[in-house]
């Protein structure tokens, strides 16, 4: 609270002093504030200013940051030689296009420090251009590029809107070129390291409760093992933990499902409740984003079991090891009371060597 109060006062002081300087500093540091949750000290000003003055001058200062992240993600995708790094960067770029920057930030930029820094710099330059142009936000709508109409003056397109467009283009181009240059030398030299994946893997319960046979759940996709074999748990609390150590491959914004790629080589899907996607994220809180690395036992999702049940939904948590060429067998090992430290699945895998994405990301 102390940090947020200081930050709020600082932002208001900078905006009053010089919008161009404020734009550079806020644009540069915005993603860092997001990492630590301190951006919420600034966000309320957007709505307050629009309600009071009819427009906001702070939000345009961070608009270019999303375009900078997009440019960086595309640059990494172009340079990447590993197909999995390339596909992850493309997916992160698509999310960034629609205003969701966390997958690119955590999965693409943070492992590549030079690219991360140039993305921040591009966002700062774009923010400065928007500030000097007097860009304003007049209404709220979609995020990312699709939200561009929200910055058009009700009286018509003005210099502020044109400046905002220029800020986004400059940030995108600068970040794209910088990503190509910053990673070019090491990308060209780095060779993906080989690692031998395990032939056996232990998978632990994702939630405390009472585990039972997956084939008895009231969902044909899971009960008929369409996606793969696994286990079901009637939860006793609303916390879902990582059952393996690995990478978050899928993190639905609605919070109802998470997919993990284990270090041992298997893919695990956790689905919270039946048909709970219809809640559109209500009663769920996601603690991870696509591309993040997690350890077994790390908190993935909070959900309000009582509220979901009251809404008429089955809260059964289903976990499956999805079908793949490496998968030989999945054997449930525990029916009954379980905690996050209870082994519930014994997974047998084919033995082979793969190129390590982790090695490439570290070299970049």
Q: Which residues are known catalytic residues?
A: 271
Q: Residue by residue, what is the 3-state secondary structure of the chain?
A: CHHHHHHHHHHHHHHHHCHHHHHHHHHHHHHHHHHCCHHHHCHHHHHHHHHHHCCECCCHHHHHHHHHHHHHHHHHHHHCCCHHHHHHHHHHHHHHHCCCCHHHHHHHHCCCHHHHHHHHHHHHHHHHHHHHHCCCECCCCCCHHHHHHHHCCCCCCCHHHHHHHHHHHHHHHHHHHHHHHHCHHHHHHCCCCEEECCCEEEEECCCCEEEECHHHCCCHHHHCCCCEEEEEEEECCCEEECCCCEEEEEECCCCCEEEEEECCCCEEEEEECCCHHHHCCCCEEECCCCCCEECCCCEEEEECHHHHHHCCCCCCEEEEEECCCCEEEEEECCCEEECCCCEEEEEEECCCEEECHHHHHHHC
């Amino acid at each position: 609270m102390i940090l947020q109060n200081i930050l709020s006062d600082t932002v208001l002081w900078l905006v009053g002093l010089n919008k161009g300087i404020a734009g550079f500093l806020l644009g540069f540091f915005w993603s860092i504030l997001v990492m630590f949750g301190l951006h919420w000290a600034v966000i309320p000003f957007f709505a307050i200013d629009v309600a009071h003055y009819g427009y906001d001058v702070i939000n345009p200062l961070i608009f270019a940051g999303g375009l900078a992240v997009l440019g960086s993600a595309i640059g990494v995708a172009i340079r990447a030689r590993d197909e999995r790094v390339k596909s992850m960067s493309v997916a992160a770029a698509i999310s960034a296009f629609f205003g969701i920057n966390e997958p690119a930030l955590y999965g693409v930029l943070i492992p590549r420090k030079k690219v991360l820094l140039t993305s921040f710099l591009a966002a700062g330059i774009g923010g400065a251009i928007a500030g000097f142009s007097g860009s304003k936000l007049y209404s709220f709508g979609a995020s990312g590029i699709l939200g561009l109409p929200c910055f058009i003056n009700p009286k018509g397109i003005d210099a502020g809107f044109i400046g905002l467009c220029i800020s986004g283009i400059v940030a995108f181009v600068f970040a794209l070129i910088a990503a190509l240059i910053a990673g070019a030398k090491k990308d060209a030299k780095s060779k993906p390291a080989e690692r031998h994946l395990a032939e056996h893997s232990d998978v632990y319960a994702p939630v405390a409760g009472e585990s039972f046979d997956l084939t008895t759940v009231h969902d044909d996709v899971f009960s008929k093992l369409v996606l793969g074999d696994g286990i079901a748990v009637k939860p006793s609390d609303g916390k879902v933990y990582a059952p393996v150590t690995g990478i978050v491959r899928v993190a639905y914004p609605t919070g109802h499902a998470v997919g993990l790629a284990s270090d041992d080589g298997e893919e695990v899907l956790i689905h919270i409740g039946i048909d709970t996607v219809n809640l559109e994220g209500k009663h769920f809180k996601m603690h991870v984003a696509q591309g993040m690395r997690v350890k077994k036992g790390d908190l993935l999702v909070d959900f309000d079991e009582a509220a979901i049940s009251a809404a008429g939904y089955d809260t059964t948590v289903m976990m499956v090891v999805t079908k793949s060429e490496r998968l030989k067998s999945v054997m449930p090992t525990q029916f009954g009371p379980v905690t996050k430290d209870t082994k519930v699945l014994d997974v047998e895998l084919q033995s082979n060597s793969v190129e390590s994405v982790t090695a490439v990301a570290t070299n970049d």
